[in-house]
Amino acid sequence: MIGRLNHVAIAVPDLDAAIILYRDTLGADVGAPQDEPDHGVTVVFITLPNTKIELLYPLGDNSPIKGFLDKNPSGGIHHICYEVDDILVARDHLLASGARVLGDGNPKTGAHGKPVLFLHPKDFNGTLVELEQV
Ligand code: CO
């Protein structure tokens, strides 16, 4: 059911330092920061040959990653995103399998303008999983 690894999202406490780390130390193709007010994050997309890395930095007072950074002050992997062909078919299969879908269970528009869902980390070995319909 799941396809390619679309991205790995890493929450960072210092966006400028993380950009320098990926661009200069790791030599990656690092994009410009984009504010995503609907998601409470500033995102930096890093394009690798086979997938993407997304740096997440809190935007606003109610950012969903603020609590994560409080628990992980030096940052850390926040979620991984797998591609699916049909997000509603994927959701229904997961629910029938006993997995929990976060929120109201309906897809939202993700950072790439595509439908996304998040799955409960306790059902996936402690990893927050995002599904994106591509
Ligand atoms: Co994501």
Parallel, antiparallel, or unpaired: how do β-strands 41-47 and 108-109 relate? unpaired
For ligand 1, a single-atom ion, the residues with CB < 5 A are 9, 81, 130
Å from CA of 11 to ligand 1 middle: 11
Confidence of residue 38 (pLDDT cuts 50, 70, 90): confident
pTM: 0.93
Å from CA of 55 to ligand 1 middle: 9
Q: What percent of the chain has pLDDT over 70?
A: 100
> Is the per-residue pLDDT at 61 higher than 90?
no
> Is the per-residue pLDDT at 8 higher than 90?
yes
Please confirm, yes or no, whether 130 is among the known catalytic residues. Answer: yes
Angle at 42 between CA 129 and CA 12, to 5 degrees: 70
Domains defined for the chain, CATH in brackets:
5-133 (3.10.180.10)
